[in-house]
Structure formats: structure tokens, C-alpha cells
Amino acid sequence: FTQHLRFTGHTTPWQTKKLGDIYTKAGSGGTPSTSIAKYYNGNIPFLSIADLHGRLIKTTQKMITEDGLLHSATWIVPQGSIALAMYASVGKVGILSRPMATSQAFYNMVFTNDSTRNFIFTYLEEMDLQRKWEGLVSTGTQRNLNAGKIQNLVIQIPECNEQKQIARFFQTLDFLIAAAERKVSLLKKKKQAYLQRMFI
């Protein structure tokens, strides 16, 4: 058993739990029929795999209507929930920064405690980075996870104060990465503008 890297002052052993015993509500989404125009271009954000970029999911490419919501298996997933990709980019995760509906490609998890939610997000992010989902992925016409495998995923979880410290540490790193990426993007735009003006 590999010893965890621990912050000073934390000695309580991590507990073994199933992921399904940690969140308060969960479920996959659904997709309104794409052949019915009135289900789309409404005011409800509709999450798809292409919208996953980093920790926070702020915007979606697609929007659906109340009719689309009512006539499909999708539901309004609360702000702050974790969305985990079960198809295509299996294992990719994000945190909803606003209430959203999602396609069936996502397993959405609702937490009552932000520190626990942030810890679980980091835990799942590490699983994706280390390709730990591979042993649980079903192969066929499309690689996928199923809800049962996610619910029964056995994880190691520390007590609340250590969860909070770990979550805050990685959240800070993510914010620093996002700030650096914005700076790089601005510098690239500045370079492009200078190139266009320099070589007329």
C-alpha cells in the first residue's frame, strides 16, 4: 500500500468508501430529439463533451428549451455538481458553475459539502490523469463507463479538515494554471496584432 503524501498535522488514516455513499444525489442526463427544432436554442445550458475545459464549466455550446427538458431524460443538475464523462472522453470531469442540463454522456453527482466535492473532483481528475478508469471501461461500439461501476468505485478519503486542505491546494493550482493560460492567450493575440502591423 502506497503511503499518501500528507499535510503536516494530519495522521488520521484515510477511510475506504464507495463513491455512491459520498454524494447525495446522482444520475446521467439525456438528449432532447435533435430533429425537433423547438427543443433547442432556449435558455437552459446543455452540457456536451466539447464543453469540458478545466475545473469549472462556465458555458455550453448548446442551449435547450423547457420543452426539450420536459420531453427527454435530462434534468437540471445543480450548480456545484460534478459532471463525469461516461462516453467518448471517458473519465473527464468538471464542476458546473451554474445549473445545467446534460446529455446521457455524463454521470452527474451532487454534494452537500463543497470541500468533499472539491476533494472528489481532484480524486477523479487524478484517476483520469493516471488512466485508472481503463480497467473499468466497457468496450464495444463505443468505450464507456456505466453508472454501477461509478457508484461502486472504491476510494480512499480523509477526514473533513484534510479534505478541505487537499481540495484548497489543488484548487489554487488550477486557478494559477487558468491565469497563466489567459496570459499566454493575451500574449499570442498581441504578437498576432504586431505581426499584422509590422508586415503590411
- Give pLDDT tens digits for 33-54: 999 999 999 999 999 999 998 8
Angle, CA 83 vertex, CA 94 and CA 10 arms, to 5°: 65
Alpha helices in the chain (DSSP H): 66-70, 114-129, 147-151, 160-198
Average pLDDT over residues 91-120: 96
CA distance 49 to 41: 18
Q: What percent of the chain has pLDDT over 70?
A: 96
DSSP 87: B
CA distance 165 to 115: 8
pLDDT confidence bin for 1, thresholds 50/70/90: very low
113 pLDDT above the threshold of 60: yes
Alpha helices in 100-159 (DSSP H): 114-129, 147-151
Q: Give pLDDT, residue 62.
A: 96
- Give pLDDT tens digits for 114-172: 999 999 999 999 999 988 888 888 776 677 888 899 999 999 999 999 999 999 999 99
Compute, in degrees rounded to 10, the torsion defined by CA atoms 114, 154, 3, 89. Answer: -70
Task: Provide the CB-side half-sphere exposure for 158 (13 A, CA).
Answer: 22
- Give pLDDT tens digits for 65-79: 999 999 999 999 999
